[in-house]
Amino acid sequence: MRTSDAFPSQFLKKEDVGDRRVKVTIDRVEMQDVQNGDHKETKPVVYFRGVEKGLVLNKGNAEAIQEAAGGEEEMDNWGGVVVLIYVDRNVTFAGKRVGGLRISPANTKPQAPAKSMAGFESGEHPADDDIPF
């Protein structure tokens, strides 16, 4: 049994996305208590249509969604906005390169074909040619 199977995360993480650029539609944004080390913080969490796990937003990803939403600053109005999720391998934490999830507007030219988020929970992922971009 894998550790990630024994202790599943309630939020999306880089391993969920892998080397793909995933095109998703925002469902909603909720403020939630999120564990950060030994204390909890209240952070915005974005949820996508058809995806159970949410993504805890940092300022950079929130700004990318705001850009994709035509400059709309009100997070409650982001439902229906289409974005791409991908892993940026150059993200550092505590001086180490760890990688992290990033969001970009879906109208930017992707470096690789976008994939559907369908199958994230089951571990099955559609082939490149199954998902039109």
Residue 105 and residue 66: Cα distance in Å, rounded?
9
> What is the pTM for the complete model shown?
0.76
Inform me whether the pLDDT recorded for 1 exceeds 90: no
* Mean pLDDT, the chain, whole residue set: 82
Q: What is the pLDDT of residue 102?
A: 95
Residue 10 and residue 72: Cα distance in Å, rounded?
27
Task: Give the tokens for residue 36.
Answer: 């950060």
Q: Decide the pairing of beta strands 114-115 and 21-36.
A: parallel
Q: What is the pLDDT of residue 59?
A: 95
Inform me whether the pLDDT recorded for 12 exceeds 80: yes
Q: Tell me which residue of 101, 126, 122 sits closest to 45, measured CA to CA.
A: 101
Inform me whether the pLDDT recorded for 32 exceeds 50: yes
Q: What is the pLDDT of residue 108?
A: 55
Kindly state the percentage of the chain with pLDDT values over 90: 53
Tens of pLDDT, residue by residue over 37-92, are 889 999 999 999 999 999 999 999 999 999 999 999 999 999 999 999 999 988 87
Q: What is the pLDDT of residue 85?
A: 95
Q: What is the pLDDT of residue 116?
A: 52
Residue 76 and residue 84: Cα distance in Å, rounded?
19
